[in-house]
Structure 1
Amino acid sequence: MPGSRVITWDVTASGGYETAWAEFGDGTLRARGRAVGTVPEPYWITYGLETADGYVTRRLTVTAEHASGTRTLELLHDGRGGWTANGERAPGPTGALDCDLGLCPLTNTMPVLRHQLHQRPGDREFLMAWVSVPDLEVRPSRQTYTHLGPGRVRYTSGDFSSDLEFDEDGCVVDYPRLARRLTAR
C-alpha cells in the first residue's frame, strides 16, 4: 500500500476539521496534519508523525494554539516501550507502541494496519500514549480494537465504544461521534 494520501475529516467531536498529508511506506507512516476545533475551546493544532517498521510510533510533534497561549509537545518512543515528552521521561505509557492524538482519526490507523484488523478477524488490546487536545497532556490509555467485518472495527476505551469504518488501506472513513472523512483517498 505504499503511496501518498491527503485526507480531510469533519471532526464533529471538536466542532472542526482536520487534514492529514500521509506518506505510507512498506510498514511505515509519515504524516503531517492541521486541525481546527471549537470544543472544548477554539484551537489550532499542527502535528507531525513518524513511525518505524510495523507502524510503531517513533515521534509525534504537536503545537496547539488557543486563547491562553501556545503549547508544544515532542513525544518520542525509544522503540522498546519507553517514552519521553519534551525530553522528560513519560512513565505512564511505558510499554505502549503507539501514540493516540486526541480527536485525530489518523492515529487509529497504526494498530489497525499492524494487525490488519480492518481485513482479518481478531481482537487486540493496546496501551496507547494518549495526547489530550488542546492541553497536550500525555496519559496512558487502554484501548481495544475488534474486527467486525471487512473495513469495520470496533474501538473501545473505558466505557466508550464506537464502530469505525476503514478503507482498504486502513484509513478511517467514519468514526461515529468523532469524525467523518470528506475527501476520497
Structure 2
Amino acid sequence: MEQLQPETKQINLLWEGHHYKSVENCVVTIQEKGTEITAVVIGDSGEKPFRLDYTIRTNQKWETVFFDIKSQFDDQRVELSFESDGKGNWTDHGKPLEEFKGCIDIDISLTPFTNTLPIRRLGSKLKTEQEIKVIYFDILKQRVRPNLQAYIALTDFCYQYRNINNGYEALLTVDEQGLVVVYPSRFIRGTHVESNY
C-alpha cells in the first residue's frame, strides 16, 4: 500500500517597511519535521541602500536550529551562519558561542518575520507574559548581541511585544499562522499566497 506523504504548506508574502523604506519577499515552508524560511529584503535607510538575504530553519517545535544571514549595507557586506540544538546552545562552524547561551529565538531588525518565532514556539504559554532571551541582529549598525524581550497574547490575533533592554513596546496584529499583518509604524503586510502540496 502506498504511504501518503506529509503535507507541506507554503506561504509566500510581502511586507512593506515604513521605519526604513523597504520591501521583503518571504517564503515560509512548513513541514512535519519543521519550518524553513527564506527571504530577501531591499530598502533605503534614508542615506544608503541595503539588502538582506536570510534563511532560518526550525524544528517541529518552532525552536530555531539554523540561520544564515547575508547583509549588504552601503559598501559593507556581512555574512553569519550559526547552528543550534534548539535549546539555546549555538555554534559558529562548530565553535561554541557562549555569549548566546539560552537564546532560543533570533530577532532580525529589518523583518517582522522573527516575531513569529516566539509566538509559534510559546503558543498557549503566552496567555501570561513570557520573558525570552534572543540573538538580536541590528543589520544597519552591524551589531549582534543577546537581548531580553517579552511577549503576551492579548487576543488570538494581537500580541504585545516588549524590548526589556530599552523599554520599547508594540502591539502586533498577526494571522492564524502567527505571521505579522501590522506592526505599527514599522511594517505592514501586502499580498500573500498560501498553498499546500
Q: With the length of structure 1 as denominator, give the TM-score of the two structures.
A: 0.89
Residue pairs, 1:127-166, within 5 angstroms: 127-134=133-140, 136-157=142-163, 158-166=166-174
Instruction: Note the C-alpha offset of 1:140.
Output: 0.4
Amino acid at match of 1:34: V
SS in 2 for 1:116: helix
- For residue 93 of structure 1, what is the aligned residue in structure 2? 100
Distance 2:137 2:91 in 1: 13
* Residue 156 of structure 2 corresponds to residue 125 of structure 1: no
Distance 1:27 1:110 in 2: 16
- For residue 50 of structure 1, what is the aligned residue in structure 2? 57
Distance 2:86 2:122 in 1: 18
Residue pairs, 1:69-108, within 5 angstroms: 69-85=76-92, 88-108=95-115
- For residue 172 of structure 1, what is the aligned residue in structure 2? 180
Distance 2:162 2:153 in 1: 12
Assess, with a 3 A threshold, how the Cα gap between structure 1 residues 52 and 155 changes in structure 2: closer, same or farther.
same
Return 5+ residue gaps in structure 2 as ranges: 1-6
Instruction: Note the C-alpha offset of 1:87.
Output: 5.3
Instruction: Note the C-alpha offset of 1:24.
Output: 1.4
Residue pairs, 1:8-19, within 5 angstroms: 8-19=14-25
Instruction: Note the C-alpha offset of 1:167.
Output: 0.2
Q: 2:37 aligns with which of 31, 39, 42?
A: 31
Amino acid at match of 2:176: E
Q: Is the 8 A contact 2:11 2:29 kept in 1?
A: yes
Amino acid at match of 1:8: L
Determine what percentage of the aligned residue pairs are the same residue: 23
Distance 1:28 1:108 in 2: 17
Q: Is the 8 A contact 1:10 1:16 kept in 2?
A: yes
Number of positions where the alignment pairs a residue of Structure 1 with one of Structure 2: 184
Instruction: Note the C-alpha offset of 1:182.
Output: 0.7
Amino acid at match of 1:95: G
* Residue 192 of structure 2 corresponds to residue 184 of structure 1: yes
Q: What do you get for the CA RMSD once the two structures are aligned? A: 2.2
Assess, with a 3 A threshold, how the Cα gap between structure 1 residues 82 and 136 changes in structure 2: closer, same or farther.
farther
